[in-house]
């Protein structure tokens, strides 16, 4: 877009900055930027790191590209050009730019190519994952051992290599470099977008199969939300790729009918900017899904802890004052006891006072525990295991399941009655043997991979 108007780059810069602000706000609201750490938790393997950083790096690269060209275009301005005897105003061609501006063309174009290749990595992963879920069978449950995961690795390496190579090999002519970058990137992204259409088409049937199997309403609601977000994102992906594909095809042809028109170049770049920004924002929401219920529960828990600390502080102050008061009473009682002993010495016929012994603690046959005995009972605080919070309590901790534990959802026994088999936590081996044979179940419903019951994000996938 080195030949387009400064306003087109200004739109790209504004929208990319808005996307960057939304990125910061969303990640802060998601987990206070904890997801950016190298070791987030027990599931922060190489796959999650690659997916997280590949997407997060693409947004700053787009911002650098758009802001850099915006500064250059407005600094270079416009020129008067005589065409067919008439003077017209056009953006200053790159041949007339200052040397430092021309030196920035290739680095900025390379940033855009890298950002586009990283976006293709993320979209290819989602495509391969949902194809794995839809086309899986009972003998294949592990995403990391499937052919779809291997296809994603090969495709990601190819995307990261071929996109920058187009910019590098054509850097001698900035217009050709830009055209081939747009053409290569739009063909790759458009192919992924078209390949995602069968996934969107098969999603309703998968939801129907889950519903007939008695899946939980929370699972159905979560998958329905992903389906709607993916549908909207695919629509905006078309708005991003098709305009740049048109500009790329026209740029590599001998006659540039579209690129020579200020109207068509501006309108196509505007549409592409909107499509890129909205689709990237939806990808952010899908990769890092916020749970308002969990956030509200965490806020309530923080308030409860604060109130508990205040109550404990007040109780400590009250206990301290009570202890001091009891100390004064003890001194008074001791003085009174000495007077009583003197009185008993003068009157030996009075009954002896029997002191309280340990046996008096068991009056009426009911034992009373001492404060020391009460302090020996363990008190367990709330503990967080990944995204699951184990509630605290008094006594020994209950049995905890290991990382290989699977959740078997509740299932309807048959359509003839309303009997429901309750779900439970089981190990992977009995879980695999308990599912029906591949392809189609006994009631005619399509077999659904059990990973959808615990699916929360395309980057939060765990090996079984």
Question: Do residues 119 and 65 make contact, with C-beta atoms less than 8 angstroms apart?
Answer: no
Give tens-digit pLDDT for 48-103.
Answer: 888 989 999 999 999 999 999 999 999 999 888 776 777 788 888 888 999 999 99
Q: Please indicate, yes or no, if residue 90 is contained in any of the structural domains.
A: yes
Section 107-133 average pLDDT: 94
Average pLDDT, the chain: 79
411 plus 276 within the same structural domain: no
Per-residue confidence band for 438, with pLDDT thresholds at 50, 70 and 90: very low
Higher pLDDT, 287 or 370: 287
What is the average pLDDT across 183-190? 96
pLDDT in the model for residue 359: 43
Coil, helix or strand at residue 416: coil
Q: How confident is the model at residue 399 (pLDDT cuts 50, 70, 90)?
A: low
The last residue of one of the domains, among 271, 289, 307, is 289
Q: What is the pLDDT of residue 188?
A: 95
Q: Is residue 323 part of a domain?
A: no
Q: What is the CATH number of the domain that holds 235?
A: 1.20.1070
Per-residue pLDDT at 213 = 81
pLDDT digits (tens, 9 = 90+) for 266-276: 999 999 999 99
The length of the chain is 464
What confidence tens digit (pLDDT) does each residue in 144-174 have?
888 999 999 999 999 999 999 999 999 999 9
419 and 283 in a common domain: no
Q: Comparing C-alpha atoms, which of 237, 246, 236, 235 is closest to residue 269?
A: 246
pLDDT value, residue 234: 96
Tokens of 226: 């992903």
Give the pLDDT band of residue 462 (cuts 50, 70, 90): low
Q: Is residue 346 part of a domain?
A: no
Residue 300 placed within a domain: no
Domain presence at residue 366: no
Look at residue 7 in the predicted model and tell me its pLDDT: 93
Lowest-pLDDT choice from 24-33, 167-176, 355-364, 374-383 = 355-364
Q: What is the pLDDT of residue 283?
A: 94
Tell me the C-alpha distance between 406 and 432, whole Å: 10
| pLDDT tens per residue across span 192-210 | 999 999 999 998 988 888 8
pLDDT at 441 over 50: no
Alpha-carbon distance of 140 to 144, in angstroms, equals 10
Nearest to 400 by CA among 388, 408, 411: 388
Query: Which residue among 289, 312, 327 closes a domain?
Result: 289
Q: What is the mean pLDDT of residues 336-341?
A: 52
Contact 412/420 with Cβ under 8 angstroms?
A: yes
How far, in Å, CA of 325 to CA of 104, rounded?
79
Give residue for tokens 């089981």: 426
Spatial separation of the C-alpha atoms in residues 5 and 269, rounded to whole Å: 10
Q: Which residue has the higher pLDDT, 305 or 264?
A: 264
Quick one: which of 76, 112, 110 has its CA closest to 95?
76
Residue 18, SS3?
helix
Q: What is the pLDDT of residue 311?
A: 83
pLDDT confidence band for 290 (50 / 70 / 90): confident
Say if residue 442's pLDDT is above 60.
no
The span from the CA of 181 to the CA of 79, in Å, is 27
Answer whether residue 247 shows pLDDT above 90. Answer: yes
Q: What pLDDT, on a 0 to 100 scale, did the predictor assign at position 436?
A: 42
User: Over 70: is that where the pLDDT of 15 sits?
Assistant: yes
What is the per-residue pLDDT for 43? 58
Region 350-372 average pLDDT:
48
Of 87, 54, 199, nearest to 132 by C-alpha is: 199
Alpha helix ranges (H) inside 362-418: 371-375
Model-level pTM? 0.70
Final residue belonging to a domain, choices 256, 289, 322: 289
Distance CA 301, CA 197 (A): 43
Asked, for residue 105, whether it belongs to a domain, the answer is: yes
Weakest-pLDDT range from 29-33, 106-110, 227-231, 240-244: 29-33
> What is the pLDDT at residue 239?
96
Residue 165 contacts residue 159 (beta carbons within 8 Å)? no
pLDDT, tens only, 445-461:
566 677 777 778 888 77
- How many structural domains are present in the chain? 2
| CA–CA separation, 44 and 374 (whole Å) | 41
- Measured CA to CA, the distance from residue 435 to residue 19 in angstroms comes to 43
Domain holding 420, by residue range, is 406-453
> In the chain, what percentage of residues exceed pLDDT 70?
69
- If one compares 299 and 194, the residue with the highest pLDDT of the two is 194
Q: Residue 24: inside a domain, yes or no?
A: yes
Q: Does the pLDDT of residue 429 top 50, yes or no?
A: no
pLDDT of residue 355: 47
Distance CA 313, CA 320 (A): 11
Report yes or no: 78 and 90 within 8 Å, Cβ to Cβ: yes
pLDDT at 366 over 70: no
**Cβ within 8 Å of residue 423, ≥6 positions away:** 216, 407, 408, 409, 410, 411
Question: Residue 370's pLDDT is what?
Answer: 55
Q: Is residue 307 part of a domain?
A: no
């Amino acid at each position: 877009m080195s030949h387009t108007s400064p306003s087109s780059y200004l739109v790209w810069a504004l929208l990319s900055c808005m996307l960057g602000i939304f990125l910061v706000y969303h990640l802060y609201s998601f987990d206070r930027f904890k997801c950016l750490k190298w070791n987030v938790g027990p599931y922060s393997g190489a796959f999650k790191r690659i997916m997280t950083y590949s997407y997060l790096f693409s947004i700053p690269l787009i911002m650098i590209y758009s802001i850099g060209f915006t500064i250059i275009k407005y600094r270079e301005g416009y020129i008067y050009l005589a065409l067919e005897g008439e003077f017209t105003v056009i953006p200053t061609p790159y041949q007339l730019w200052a040397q430092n501006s021309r030196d920035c063309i290739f680095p900025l174009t390379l940033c855009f190519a890298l950002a586009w290749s990283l976006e293709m990595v993320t979209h290819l992963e989602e495509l391969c994952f949902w194809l794995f879920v839809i086309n899986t069978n009972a003998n294949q449950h592990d995403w990391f051992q499937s052919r779809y995961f291997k296809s994603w690795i090969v495709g990601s390496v190819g995307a990261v290599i071929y996109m920058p190579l187009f910019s590098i090999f054509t850097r001698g002519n900035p217009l050709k470099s830009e055209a081939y970058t747009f053409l290569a990137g739009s063909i790759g992204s458009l192919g992924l977008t078209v390949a995602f259409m069968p996934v969107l088409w098969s999603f309703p049937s998968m939801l129907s199969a889950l519903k007939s199997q008695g899946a939980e309403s929370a699972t159905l609601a979560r998958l329905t939300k992903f389906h709607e977000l993916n549908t909207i994102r695919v629509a905006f992906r078309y708005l991003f790729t098709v305009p740049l594909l048109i500009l790329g095809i026209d740029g590599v042809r001998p006659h540039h009918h579209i690129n020579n028109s200020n109207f068509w170049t501006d309108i196509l770049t505007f549409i592409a900017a909107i499509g890129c920004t909205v689709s990237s924002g939806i990808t952010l929401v899908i990769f890092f899904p916020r749970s308002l219920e969990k956030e509200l529960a965490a806020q309530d828990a923080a308030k409860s802890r604060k109130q508990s600390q205040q109550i404990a502080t007040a109780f400590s102050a009250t206990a301290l004052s009570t202890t001091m008061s009891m100390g004064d009473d003890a001194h008074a009682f001791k003085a009174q006891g000495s007077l009583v002993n003197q009185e008993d010495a003068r009157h030996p016929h009075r009954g002896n006072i029997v002191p309280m012994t340990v046996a008096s603690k068991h009056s009426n046959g009911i034992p009373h525990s001492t404060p020391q005995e009460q302090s020996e009972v363990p008190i367990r605080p709330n503990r967080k295991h990944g995204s699951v919070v184990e509630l605290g309590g008094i006594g020994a901790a209950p049995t905890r399941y290991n990382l290989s534990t699977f959740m078997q959802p509740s299932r309807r026994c048959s359509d003839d009655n309303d009997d429901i088999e309750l779900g439970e936590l089981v190990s992977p081996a009995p879980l695999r043997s308990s599912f029906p044979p591949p392809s189609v179940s006994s009631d005619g419903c399509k077999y659904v991979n059990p990973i959808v019951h615990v699916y929360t994000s395309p980057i939060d996938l765990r090996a079984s």
